[in-house]
Amino acid sequence: MLKTSDRAAFQQLARDELAGLYALARRLTGRDAEDLVQEALLRACRSFTSLRDPQAGGPWLRVILTNVWRDRLRKDSREPTEVSIDDAEGFSLYRTLVDEDPFPYSDTLHLDFLGGFSEDDIHTVLQRLPARYRAPLLLRYMEGFPTKQIARLLELPLGTVLSQLHRGRKLFERALWDYAIESGAINGTAARREDAPWTG
């Protein structure tokens, strides 16, 4: 039930937050991002009167969107229940870069390596991570939610979220490296920074 003044306020809030909501939805789901945003807005509209602090409207909407995503994930049997991270657990991207030395003429090899990834590359790499590891990473580092709030949002024990964050970081590092190799930029031998084909 919305008063006329609430309608205008909700409309403004939703419009202001669309880009951020869509970006989070796209990172979380990789597909159906628009539909996820619509479902979140639908739920938000129904409970808009429960929003007491208008300044908190953005985070409030992103919490709702995360809840919608979480509910959908539980119904989605395509998400694997277990994933092996043995390969990633002992992996250090920084050490690997130092050992492989892909940019022999650079004093800032780690920055050169990371600087070669476009936003689309990062999106692709993130989508390779299982959702259970991708979501805590995004909620923590893209949205800035505290770990305890992420645990509440995902309805998981705090220790589980901390473990997922740790594993997610390892998987992310490993996926970045694998992506660079697949792109032909890194093959274990020296490769010049300007040759990196995963740029642009």
Partner 1 sequence: MDRVISCSAAVEQLWAFLDHELDDEDQQAVEAHLAFCRRCCGELEFAKHLRRLLAARGTSELPAEVRARLHRFVDELVETAPEGGTP
Residues 160-199 as x/- pattern, contact with partner 1 by CB under 8 A: -----xx--x--xx--------------------------
The SS3 assignment for 26 reads helix
Residues 71-110 as x/- pattern, contact with partner 1 by CB under 8 A: ---------------------xxx---x-----------x
Q: What tokens were used for 169? A: 């970081």
Nearest CA-CA partner of 179 in 116, 100, 131: 116
Site membership for partner 1, residue 158 (CB under 8 A): no
Nearest CA-CA partner of 10 in 64, 51, 63, 66: 51
Looking at residue 193, the DSSP 8-state letter turns out to be G
Residues 23-62 as x/- pattern, contact with partner 1 by CB under 8 A: x--x-------x--xx--xx--x---x-------------
* DSSP secondary structure, 92-132, as one string: -HHHHHHHH-S-TT-S-HHHHHHHT--HHHHHHHHHTS-HH
**Residues near partner 1 (CB under 8 A):** 1-8, 10-11, 14-15, 18-20, 22-23, 26, 34, 37-38, 41-42, 45, 49, 92-94, 98, 110-111, 114, 117, 119, 122-123, 126, 137-138, 140-142, 147, 165-166, 169, 172-173
